[in-house]
Amino acid sequence: MTGSIYTFGVGNHFFYIRMMTNPAIRLGDISTYMKKCILYMD
């Protein structure tokens, strides 16, 4: 299992995070998408 796709929405914007088996990649993806969320919520 290489990972799975998780989705979450903020308003009308939906974000997709690929949860990889590598913790460093996983945290990096979450950090990147959370920053995008903040930009959209601005």
Q: What is the pLDDT of residue 1?
A: 38
Mean per-residue pLDDT, 4-25: 56
Place of tokens 């959370």: 34
DSSP 8-state secondary structure symbol assigned to residue 42: -
Q: What is the pLDDT of residue 35?
A: 74
pLDDT at 39 over 60: yes
The number of distinct structural domains making up the chain is: 1
Structural domain containing residue 30: 3-41
The reply to whether the predicted model has a pTM over 0.85 is: no
Which helix or strand (DSSP H or E) is residue 13 part of?
strand 13-20
